[in-house]
Structure 1
Amino acid sequence: MTARSTDESPLALALRENVPTDALSEQILDAAREQFMTFGLRRSTVDDVARRAGVSRVTVYRRIGNKDSLVSACLLREYRRFVMEVDEAVAALPTTEDRLVEGFTAVLRHIREHPLIGGLLRLEPETMLPFLTLDSGPAFLAIREYLAERLREARIAEGRPSSDPIPVAELMVRITVSFLLNPVSCFELDDDSQVREFARRCLVPLLAAG
């Protein structure tokens, strides 16, 4: 079973599309989120989600689709929320450097505290691992482009010379994934101040290099 029903990853879709939803679909996705957080993907069925949502199995199929579609839709919504949280965290900051530091900190904090992604990593690491490694190509490119575009916009807003933000964005993604896969570090990932210090010392200089 795979959580992707199209050639594009849920993350790529989340960053490109604005798919409308409705109250009943949200109710079903809320139930799916709770189900997956509690029991994981393998042990969850469409019937489980339908019972938790208080609707029929047929309603789930009509509104969302089969189990693959349900997982994809659930993750897609989480990715959208993640993007919004990062944007909100950096929107009011005055400089590109500040946005990079706070954006990197927000990404690590979100992953660290996320009940669904973190829960799935604990319950079914073998299910989630491919999405972060061998099968992560489309998602990797999508989030790299998202971060690069935000860095590019910050440069333009400051009236500063343009530079290629993709290398910095790629390093941010790769470092974040490495922390997610192996949280052992010389600084505390639970301490935002240490994460910010790392970003200023190790990532900010890359902006000038870029």
Structure 2
Amino acid sequence: MKPTAQDLSTTAIHDRILDAAAACLVESGYGTRLHAVIAERAGLSRPTVYKYVGDQAEIVAALFQREVTRFFAHLEPILLAHDRIHDGFVECVVFSVGYARRHRVLQTGLQDEPAVVLPGFTVHARPMIDRGAEFLVPHFERMVAAEPSSTIDPHIASEWAFRLVASLVTTGRRDAGDLADDDAVRAFVSGLLAIGTPQPV
């Protein structure tokens, strides 16, 4: 038997609600009225779900923010393993694309409710770009500082990384073998970077 709300901390209640929301979105889709099914799955009352997270839009937004935080925690060791901006940028994009392609809640949304999910990658992407910059720019600044000849702007690199990942996640034809794995994505991103790199004569 699950502990009741009275036995849990605010953080534990919040996490239980979001865990239930993630499972419900994957199983039932984004069009489902979530409160009743979340409450049942989490072993909490519907008023408790409203009290701690809010309405359906707030639940989805809170879940999204939590998942982004978790994603950054997984991405950080990848970035820390690289000292050169070229390598760090490529591996950042490769990891991010793979992570997003494996993320069940995101993939369910892209498949079942693209009108709900896609604006966060396109016309309403600015908050996500800005949040990504808060995380990425310090890492890219460290890499650029290690290469005195580099002219790369870490802020531009951060935004470009987001836009590349967004494009590859939302339009990649994995079923047709187009950029189907990490090596293919790595080669693609490295090729893009090579376009802007002066070649020796």
The TM-score with structure 2 as length reference comes to 0.80
In 1, are the aligned partners of 2:21 and 2:34 still within 8 Å (CA)? Answer: no
In 2, are the aligned partners of 1:86 and 1:103 still within 8 Å (CA)? Answer: yes
Higher deviation after alignment, 61-70 or 116-125? 61-70
Deviations 1:87-146 (A, max 9, x none): 122222342222112111011101111111111111111211222222222223332453
SS of the residue corresponding to residue 179 of structure 2 reads coil
Name stretches of at least 5 consecutive residues in structure 2 with no aligned partner: 1-8
Identity fraction in percent = 28
Letter in 2 for 1:117: L
Describe the shift of the 1:187–1:207 C-alpha distance in structure 2 as closer, same or farther (beyond 3 A).
farther
The root-mean-square deviation of aligned C-alpha atoms, in Å, is: 2.6
Pairing 1:9-158 to 2, within 5 Å after superposition: 22-156=11-145, 158=146
1:166 to 2:145 alignment: no
In 2, are the aligned partners of 1:145 and 1:166 still within 8 Å (CA)? Answer: no
Give the greater-gyration-radius structure (CA): 2
SS of the residue corresponding to residue 22 of structure 1 reads helix
Name stretches of at least 5 consecutive residues in structure 1 with no aligned partner: 1-19
Structure 1: 4+ residue segments shifted above 4 A:
204-208
Higher relative contact order (CA 8 A, sep 6+): 1
Deviations 1:6-64 (A, max 9, x none): xxxxxxxxxxxxxx962222111100110112222221321111111111112212222
Deviations 1:55-89 (A, max 9, x none): 11122122222222211111111010111111122
The TM-score with structure 1 as length reference comes to 0.77
Letter in 2 for 1:37: V
